């Protein structure tokens, strides 16, 4: 587990960029935290770090936004999903098990479609401070956390 800290929204974006830079094809990132925790800010950074140059908006209403950086990238927000069966309509599993990187806000809403292997990120905090815990679920993500550790500035520790 890697525990990081940010003191401003821009820092969370910057931290996301450092993660986006080390992601690999097929990686799944789950972002957990209350409304306003900073999941979308972190996702924006991750997408920037993946080389996405298009404007990045929250997929709250669209459920999924697709991007192309150095890898295909899918930003999914399940907040408005009330039944995981709705996920069949958006082809949720095709995103998860394809070549791209998938970022999921509110992953708990995926119910039984929740993947077994993913990088879990839990964001908590108040005012402008956020603690960001990065937890590898499955061995595949341990080396990713090591790469991230090497890629982040000490100011985040």
Query: Which positions touch ligand ADP (CB under 6 A)?
Result: 6-9, 11-12, 33, 35-41, 105, 128, 130
Residue 56 region by backbone torsions, left for phi larger than 0, else alpha for psi between -120 and 50, else beta = beta
If you ran DSSP here, which 8-state letter would residue 80 be given?
T
- Between 96 and 103, CB nearer to ligand ADP: 103
Which does residue 142 touch among Mg ion, ligand ADP, none (CB within 5 to 8 A, set by kind)? Answer: none
Binding region for Mg ion (CB under 5 A) out of 10-18, 81-89, 102-110, 135-143: 102-110
In the list 20, 28, 39, 130, the residue contacting Mg ion (rule: CB under 5 A) is 39
102 binds Mg ion (CB under 5 A): no
State the Cα–Cα distance between residues 49 and 6, nearest whole angstrom: 17
- Nearest distance in Å: CB 33, ligand ADP: 5
The smaller minimum CB distance to ligand ADP, of residues 35 and 112, is found at 35
* Structural contact between residues 118 and 138, judged by C-beta atoms closer than 8 angstroms: yes
H-state helical runs in 23-141: 39-49, 86-89, 92-96
In sequence order, what are the residues at sequence separation of 6 or more whose Cβ sits closer than 8 angstroms to the Cβ of residue 62? none
Residues at the interface with Mg ion (CB under 5 A): 39-40, 105
């Amino acid at each position: 587990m890697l525990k990081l800290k940010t003191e401003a929204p821009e820092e969370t974006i910057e931290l996301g960029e450092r993660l986006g830079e080390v992601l690999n094809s097929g990686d799944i990132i789950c972002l957990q935290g209350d409304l306003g925790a900073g999941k979308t800010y972190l996702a924006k950074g991750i997408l920037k770090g993946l080389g996405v140059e298009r404007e990045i908006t929250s997929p709250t209403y669209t459920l999924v936004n697709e991007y192309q950086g150095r890898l295909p990238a899918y930003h999914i927000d399940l907040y408005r999903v009330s039944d995981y069966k709705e996920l069949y309509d958006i082809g949720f599993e095709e995103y998860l098990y394809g070549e791209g990187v998938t970022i999921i806000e509110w992953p708990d809403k995926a119910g039984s479609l929740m993947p077994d292997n993913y990088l879990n990120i839990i964001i908590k905090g108040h005012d402008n401070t956020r603690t960001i815990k990065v937890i590898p679920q499955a061995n595949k993500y341990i080396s990713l956390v090591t790469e991230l550790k090497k890629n982040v500035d000490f100011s985040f520790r």
